[in-house]
């Protein structure tokens, strides 16, 4: 049984889940089956990952076959940037429910504070391909749509992703339902200590995406540092007879975070879940704190930096 954290909403969230970004259609379903068979109950999804139909099929089958109950599952999804107006957000919730073949979603996040032009295209590129067509819809409108989905029983908990502390505070100040979770990039090379402390003070739990920092091109480029080869992590891994990935995941858990490593490989899916039989010492946690590089790998500044709500121009 996976440990859980209790969210503001009162719902319990398993502290480890399977990430599905960049899990290809045709592969993601198999990955899910392997994960389900090995104890995972929490799955991190999003409309924009374009693989929710296949995930929904596997979930539906697993429930029908009695492998899991719906109540044991914890399914997260995210409202994409082209669904930011109040009406669109509500439409987005229904699309997600339909794709995932669920009557309710456990946690629904606003994927990013930045709205994109609404329409058929998820990525409405400008003609010259340099950036997206933005919309300046206020994410507080999106939040209202999410609050309404909670009231309608379609969603249990709501939260934010890729928001900075000022934007989170603005949602807190203008909401009926407080954000339960913030999901952001977070790993030993990008420890986000200020933002984590801010959230913890507000009672918001933090989910670490890309917890292995192993994002691939075009985000982490060939030849750039790979934290799974970091000497400090390798040494700690050797000492515990664990892999560098297990050390990174264990480190996130011991910081009180929720963590969602992505894999479609059977061996690695199992490995990433096998992190409850060892503990990093105080000294090892201190050593890990020392390898922070404040390095955001998933930096969309080039395409989005002049968006009204681009989050990363602020300090944290």
Q: How far is CA 298 from CA 37, 58, 149, in A?
A: 31, 29, 29
Distance CA 86, CA 306 (A): 23
H helices present in the chain, as ranges: 28-37, 52-64, 86-100, 139-151, 165-173, 193-202, 231-240, 244-254, 266-273, 282-289, 301-304
CB of 23 to ligand A2P, least distance (A): 7
In the residue annotation, 49 being an active-site residue is answered as yes
Closest distance of CB 187 from ligand A2P, Å = 7
In the bound complex, what is the minimum distance in angstroms from residue 209's beta carbon to ligand A2P? 7
Q: Tell the smallest beta-carbon distance from residue 163 to ligand A2P (Å).
A: 19
CB 139 within 8 Å of CB 89: no
3-state class of 277 per DSSP? coil
Figure out which of the listed residues 67, 140, 228, 232 binds ligand A2P, where binding follows CB under 6 A: 228
Backbone angles phi, psi at 269, to 5 degrees: -60, -45
**Residue of the chain from 271, 291, 296, 312 that contacts ligand A2P (CB under 6 A):** 271
196 belongs to the binding site for ligand A2P (CB under 6 A): no
Determine which residue in the list 19, 56, 179, 188 makes contact with ligand A2P, applying CB under 6 A: 19
**Closer residue to ligand A2P, CB minimum distance, 178 or 254:** 254
Asked if 111 touches ligand A2P (CB under 6 A), the answer is no
Stretch in the footprint of ligand A2P (CB under 6 A) among 114-122, 129-137, 195-203, 210-218:
210-218
Rg for the chain, CA atoms, rounded: 19
- Tell me how far the alpha carbon of residue 101 is from its chain's centroid: 20
- Residues with catalytic roles: 49
Q: What is the binding site for ligand A2P (CB under 6 A)? A: 19, 210-216, 228, 243, 245, 261-265, 268, 271-272
């Amino acid at each position: 049984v996976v440990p859980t954290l209790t969210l503001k909403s009162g719902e319990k969230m398993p502290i480890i889940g399977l990430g599905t970004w960049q899990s290809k259609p045709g592969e993601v379903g198999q990955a899910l089956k392997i994960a389900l068979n090995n104890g995972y109950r929490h799955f991190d999804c999003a409309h924009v990952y374009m693989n929710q139909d296949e995930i929904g099929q596997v979930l539906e089958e697993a429930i029908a076959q009695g492998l899991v109950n719906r109540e044991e599952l914890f399914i997260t999804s995210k409202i994409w940037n082209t669904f930011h107006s109040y009406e669109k957000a509500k439409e987005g919730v229904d699309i997600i429910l339909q794709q995932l073949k669920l009557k309710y979603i456990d946690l629904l996040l606003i994927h990013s504070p930045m709205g994109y032009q609404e329409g058929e295209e998820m990525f409405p590129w400008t003609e010259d391909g340099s950036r997206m067509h933005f919309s300046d819809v206020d994410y507080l409108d999106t939040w209202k749509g999410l609050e309404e989905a909670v009231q309608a029983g379609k969603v249990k908990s709501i939260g934010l992703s890729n928001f900075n502390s000022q934007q989170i505070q603005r949602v807190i100040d203008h909401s009926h339902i407080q954000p339960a979770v913030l999901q952001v990039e977070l790993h030993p090379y990008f420890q986000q200590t200020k933002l984590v402390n801010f959230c913890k003070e507000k009672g918001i739990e933090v989910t670490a995406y890309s917890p292995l920092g192993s994002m691939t091109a075009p985000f982490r480029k060939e030849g750039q540092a790979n934290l799974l080869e970091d000497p400090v992590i390798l040494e700690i891994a050797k000492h515990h007879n664990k892999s560098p990935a297990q050390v990174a995941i264990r480190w996130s858990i011991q910081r009180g975070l929720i963590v969602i490593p992505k894999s479609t490989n059977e061996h690695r899916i199992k490995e990433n879940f096998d992190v409850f039989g060892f503990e990093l010492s105080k000294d090892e946690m201190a050593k890990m704190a020392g390898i922070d590089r404040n390095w955001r790998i998933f930096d969309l500044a080039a395409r989005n930096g002049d968006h009204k709500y681009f989050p990363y121009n602020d300090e944290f």
